[in-house]
Amino acid sequence: MRLRHKPWAEDFIAAHPEIVIANPEEHKGKWHEVFGNDHPLHIEVGTGKGQFVTGMAQANPDINYIGIELYDSVIVCAVETILEAGDIPNLRLLKVNGADLHKFFQKDDVKQVYLNFSDPWPKTRHAKRRLTHEDFLKLYESILVDFGEIHFKTDNRGLFEFSLLSMSSYGMLLKDVSLDLHANPPEGNVMTEYEEKFSAKGQPIYRLESQFVKKESL
């Protein structure tokens, strides 16, 4: 995603604390207090303009959602998407780095993680930056409930192959794998901005659902 500087972004974000949570580390282990219920929590790491997480929150009112995005110039678009959609009480955003999830969530805080069209970091020396690298899998496992899941979409075949190998090597259960999502889309599929763009061009969208498994049960 090409980032354009938006000098008004910081003030805009600060003006919407009901959407973008300030000081999220204060809510670690207590996210049910933020939402006012004990519904399961799903997070999207790299939420972009917010179309996916907004659509998911609207479609599933009994699940709480948090979209995570680092850049001011991007997260303001997600805030605008949410404002345009109207009142969505089960959705919040965090302006934080996805590599720091352990600072904001503790074990069992999260039930499911979504990774959509993440940066493929194609150079081998940058492999550790890929959001499906073993180091990130350890991070997700540390905040997820037992048998928590990762749902992953990409248009990048190289990243998809890397992710399959990474998750398999980690000992995760691959529950569903699609090499062309839109040839047989799952019920209730919510598309991201990139997904709409690439699928309209006829490009295949790769998708997988994987689940952490207790090592002693392998």
Q: Which of 82, 106, 130 is the last residue of a domain?
A: 106
End-of-domain residue from the set 79, 106, 133: 106
Q: CATH no. for residue 118? A: 3.40.50.150
Helix (H) or strand (E) holding 152: strand 144-154
- 38 secondary structure, DSSP code: -
Looking at the structure, do residues 96 and 183 belong to the same domain, yes or no? Answer: no
- Cα 140 from chain centre: 11
Tokens (6 digits) for 205: 């969208």
Indicate if 78 and 13 belong to the same structural domain.
Answer: yes
Q: Decide if 194 contacts 186 (C-beta within 8 A).
A: no
Q: Quick one: pLDDT at residue 55?
A: 97
* 151 and 162 Cβ atoms separated by less than 8 Å: no
Q: Based on the domain organization, do 171 and 139 belong to the same domain?
A: yes
Domain count, the chain: 2
Cβ atoms within 10 Å, residue 162:
19
Residue 157 CA, distance from chain mean position = 19
Report the pLDDT value the prediction gives residue 217, as an integer from 0 to 100.
Answer: 46
- Is there a single domain that holds both residue 98 and residue 119? no
In this structure, the answer to whether residues 47 and 124 fall within a common structural domain is no
The pLDDT tens digits of the residues spanning 95-151 come to: 999 999 999 999 999 999 999 999 999 999 999 999 999 999 999 999 999 999 999
Report the pLDDT value the prediction gives residue 206, as an integer from 0 to 100: 97
Q: Do 66 and 97 belong to one domain?
A: yes
CB 149 within 8 A of CB 112: yes
Is 192 found in the same domain as 136? Answer: yes
Domain of residue 76, residue span: 1-106
- 54 and 70 housed in the same domain: yes
111: tokens are 């039930």
| Average pLDDT over all residues of the chain | 94
The enclosing H or E element of 116 equals: strand 110-116
Active-site pick, 119, 135, 176, 180: 119
Which residues of the chain, if any, have pLDDT below 70?
1-5, 216-218
Amino acid at 211: Q
Ramachandran area for residue 3 (φ above 0: left; ψ -120 to 50: alpha; else beta): beta
Q: Same domain for 116 and 161?
A: yes
Angstrom distance (rounded) from CA 77 to CA 13: 10
Whether 99 and 25 map to the same domain: the answer is yes
Pair 94, 120 in one domain? no
Catalytic annotation present for 119: yes
Residues 115 and 158 in one domain: yes
